[in-house]
Structure 1
Amino acid sequence: MGGMPESVPVRCPACRREHVYTTPSYPCTCGAPVSPPLDRRTAPTAVAHRAWDEDWVTVACASCGRRDQWPHPELGCPCGTVLRLPVCGAPPPVARPGAGPGPVPHPVRRPPFHPVTIRTARDAVTAAALYLRWLGYRDIRRADQRPPSGIGLAARGLLAQVDPTVRPASLRDVECLWLTAMTESAECVYFSLAGYAEAARVRADGLGIPLFVLDLTGTPQPVNAVADDLNATGT
């Protein structure tokens, strides 16, 4: 389970168009590539409504056995239908002795970050979640409180905001994230697709908030010094 990528034929149930889908490969903490194993016996389904729990699937690394959550395989058909491809039985995460829900210590040499191309708002959230996991955070989930703009992500001791809009993040956006994180006694980090207003950058520097810009390759780019430090050292 979770070996090398595979390519499978996929037929869109809406327009009957044929596609070839190749499963993406994600980096396990141990450095080995992990790909969700597709269930060839089950037909893909059209995505009508989004649910966070359904957007992720638990996959075991074939090298070390670690179970992590990765984006559920999907394919966008030119007719406008989004297809969710079935995955072979994905059990819930298995607790390991001594492993808590917080950040995972990285090896001395971290594997390179493998981004996902950003085409939609969901891709931006996925890219930020993958990056946070690469930094060492685990159990990434939707935040309990919805931010004024964008989408909130949370991990133990961390609150992140992902803004996939074309408007630069404002001073108010940054301050709202900081205040919410303060009430939860958590650190915070901001990801924006369109950058930041100057006042927002100055305020973030004063509050020690890491700011990242998501480029369309899905690679978060540090905007300030505290983000540079986080990118270099992880959790």
Structure 2
Amino acid sequence: MSAGVPVRCPVCRREHVYAPHVYPCACGTPVSPPVLRGAQPQPVTHVTWEDDWVTVRCEACGRLDQWPQPELGCGCGTLLRIPVKPATSGPAPGHAPLPLHIPLPTTAPAPRPAFHPVTIRTARDAVQAAALYLRWLGYRDIRRAEQRGASGVGLSAPGLRAQVEPTPRAMSLRDVECVWLTALNTSSVPVCFSLAGYTDDARARADGLAIPLFVLDLTGTPQPVNSPADELISTGA
């Protein structure tokens, strides 16, 4: 874990020690958002998808990626957004820039680093857990889908259309079919995540259409519930 930084709630003046979550970069290096020491945290009064993510630079390889915006819940009920240092582009300090074209040997793909989940306490945590897992599988530029599904929250990335049901309602046959039709129209892979699982007919239809189904446990680790999900974990994006 990263070292904790002192944070004072501007509403009740309560003092906290905050340590940001650590996530694995694609190169395997642990990365955490660089919190600005001494900066005033901001109470969250309005939540948008763009505000939920922050650009972080890996100091090992120089890669820029999107990670969850650091936030802290105060005992007074205020949700605080913790400021982070702006990310800079370019190679990491002490590292020469990588050439644009590198001839790679024909070898087996490097093993994927371990997935580091985020504990699910709210519906927004469930959506973030699914987005982090999809990034771990190899999908990039994940964002909230412009076209909304029948329920839940849609996520999209190049070649991907995912649906997350972050409520205690099991995903239905109609939910699964809507995800499949939307993905079909965009030549994308459909994937479903649900906190409460799936109805029997939804599970049967997903198996017939080869749609990966995952159940989100409260630790934030998606669990595969059918063969297409196992295959997606094995092959990645």
Same fold (TM > 0.5): yes
- After TM superposition, which residue ranges in structure 1, 4 or more long, deviate above 2 angstroms? 90-94, 96-99
Aligned twin of 1:191: 193
Offset, 1:233: 2.2
Deviations 1:115-153 (A, max 9, x none): 000001111111111100100010001111011111000
**Quick one: distance in 2 between partners of 1:204 and 1:45?**
43
Deviations 1:23-65 (A, max 9, x none): 1100001111001111113200000001111111111111111
TM-score (norm 2): 0.90
Matched, 1:223 2:225: yes
Listed as ranges, the matches of 1:49-198 within 5 Å are: 49-91=46-88, 107-198=109-200
Matched, 1:14 2:16: no
**Quick one: distance in 1 between partners of 2:88 and 2:158?**
22
**Quick one: distance in 1 between partners of 2:52 and 2:27?**
24
Deviations 1:89-120 (A, max 9, x none): 135899x9869xxxxxx952111111000001
Q: For residue 69 of structure 1, what is the amino acid of its counterpart?
A: Q
Distance change (3 Å), C-alpha of 1:59 and 1:205? same
**8 Å Cα contact 2:57/2:88 also seen in 1:** no
Q: For residue 154 of structure 2, what is the amino acid of its counterpart?
A: G
TM-score (norm 1): 0.91
**Quick one: distance in 1 between partners of 2:70 and 2:130?**
17
Distance change (3 Å), C-alpha of 1:93 and 1:46? farther
Gap runs ≥5 in structure 1:
100-105
**Quick one: distance in 1 between partners of 2:204 and 2:75?**
43
Offset, 1:70: 0.2
Q: Secondary structure at the match of 2:155?
A: strand
**Quick one: distance in 1 between partners of 2:226 and 2:112?**
22
Aligned twin of 1:233: 235
Gap runs ≥5 in structure 2:
92-97, 102-107
**Quick one: distance in 2 between partners of 1:78 and 1:231?**
38
Q: Secondary structure at the match of 1:201?
A: helix
Aligned twin of 2:104: none
**8 Å Cα contact 1:11/1:18 also seen in 2:** yes
Offset, 1:202: 0.0
Q: From the CA coordinates, give the structure whose radius of gyration is larger.
A: 2
Q: For residue 139 of structure 1, what is the amino acid of its counterpart?
A: D
